[in-house]
Chains A and B, each alone.
Chain A
């Protein structure tokens, strides 16, 4: 008789185990995701040796079409370019929304950034033990970022400082490979800006930035039909007069070569930090000028904006190529002058650089 009392307990045990079988798992792969790329979000620190030097960031990845060099390395694809003329700060954080490509295939280099200081002032990178430029390479910078915010456009003034990459200056230099760039670039020419500034503003103190964004570019994932906006170019100087007075290659203009896809639309925003507080504030004296155009080698749609005597909008510049040799390429020229109508400053969208005291 007492054995009959065991049956409900046995059935309860069997039911519990059966329930557990449906609710517990030994293993799963739900925590894996496909790389979607990310913002370039790089903070550099202690760059005092390079404050007065030209510094260039090259956002690159390997797409499988690179050239294999003699030393076995493969040229990466240039996805975005940031140029500081000169760097102008010791510590700073740059965010270029959506500029880093995902890893396209196993074994290929995931999206990263090669950056270098033009120590020998040749405008090109040379890795020479005696008189070398200082270069560093960071690969796969998206992998450790929080996936939910990896591609969210945000100003570094409002972003969480822990979410980006931090690089502290060191002397462990890398031999950078010149990337393969696109055949089209952009040049921004400044004309008569000093006369357009408010009274009392010293043009020497005006910080100028150029932001170049692709409008509905083919998605970095390569998925057909998917399009996205993303940053492809950044240029900065902290003294426009120094730029205008400079009788060098970049006299009076900002050049960002090899970043435009033929036939795609781009938006260029030129920002002037008139009040000199290193922040582009809305509603103040800071100014923004926006130009949107289709990039093309055949047409010169911006000629109407130009007032040069030849009516040409086309210049030649130097293209990035794997051999590091100069190659004439087309630059879409944008002329900025005081007669252009300023656009509104968008603090959250226009502040890509935060200089950290």
Chain B
């Protein structure tokens, strides 16, 4: 439909602008091709100065190309230059076709204000009222949407702030945990370290005893009157002590290090924070620890 009407509109606007002086707004009836629903209804009266005419031509070209919003603006500028009310009607049509209801309403209102006695003024006023109502509704909806958008933005910002606060609080707790290690860990670790030290000492004693034994028994063969059993007992006892203290001490140290990072149990009053134990048997010693991290 628009393609069919565009040549007619062009012909009408060009012929009118070139052959006729600008007509007053009340001459709208003279436009034999006026159609309030289509581009052919564009008003051309009063385009008597060059600038306005150029604007009109640009607007006309834009309209033909389907750039209705830009066409509407050019019609309004042509109106500002020429004060031809028909240009407002043209702007109304262009804005209407662009779907820009507020601008179309404004242009139509301007037209009716300039041409209150236009031939179809009553019809146009009814349309204007309908359009104004729709604009009002649209503005209200937009306002409501804007309000919702602002509300959502505020909510998102609040959530982000809460998350940042939670992270900061966790980091603060972690720093606090790191700085406040479980003192039981120091105690157990110290005991383990002392055991390892004792193991080293026992190992040195054992090595010394064995060295003495090697001196007395070259080639690991001892004289008949040598009390080998007693010497073996001394070496083996020291070796056993070294074994137990070294490995047991190492185990206790590991437990101590683990205890250092155990929480103190303040978060849960029902459960004990840590339970540690140690036992020795024929197969060796064992240390255990239970707790919550």
Contacts and interface: CB of A to CB of B under 8 A. Distances in A.
B250 interface: yes
B213 A29 contact: yes
Contacts of B216: 106
Nearest to B245: A21
Given A7-B290, A33-B221, A20 B254 contact: no
Interface stretch (A11-19, A126-134, A328-336): A11-19
Q: Is the interface of B mostly helix, strand, loop or mixed?
A: helix
B236 A10 contact: no
B286 A15 contact: yes
Given A14-B289, A23-B284, A29 B236 contact: yes
Given A7-B291, A29-B236, A21 B285 contact: yes
Interface string A22-46: 1111111111111100000000000
Q: Is the interface of A mostly helix, strand, loop or mixed?
A: loop
Contact of A108 (B223, B283, B284, B292): B223
19 contacts: A7-B290, A7-B293, A10-B255, A13-B251, A13-B254, A14-B286, A15-B286, A17-B247, A18-B247, A26-B243, A28-B236, A28-B239, A29-B232, A30-B236, A32-B232, A143-B218, A144-B219, A221-B224, A222-B225
Interface of B: 203, 206-207, 209-210, 213, 216-226, 228, 231-232, 235-236, 238-240, 242-244, 246-248, 250-251, 254-255, 258, 281-293
What 4 pairs across the A-B complex have the smallest Cβ distances? A22-B284, A3-B293, A21-B247, A18-B286
Given A4-B293, A14-B255, A18-B248, A32 B239 contact: no
Given A14-B286, A24-B243, A29 B222 contact: no
In this complex, the member of A14, A24, A104 whose beta carbon has the largest number of chain B beta carbons within 10 angstroms is A14
A102 B247 contact: no
Given A102-B223, A105-B223, A143-B221, A18 B210 contact: no
Given A26-B242, A30-B232, A11 B250 contact: no
B283 to A, nearest CB: 4
B291 to A, nearest CB: 7
A142 B218 CA distance: 12
A32 B231 contact: yes
Contact of B251 (A21, A24, A147, A222): A21
A6 B293 contact: yes
A103 interface: yes
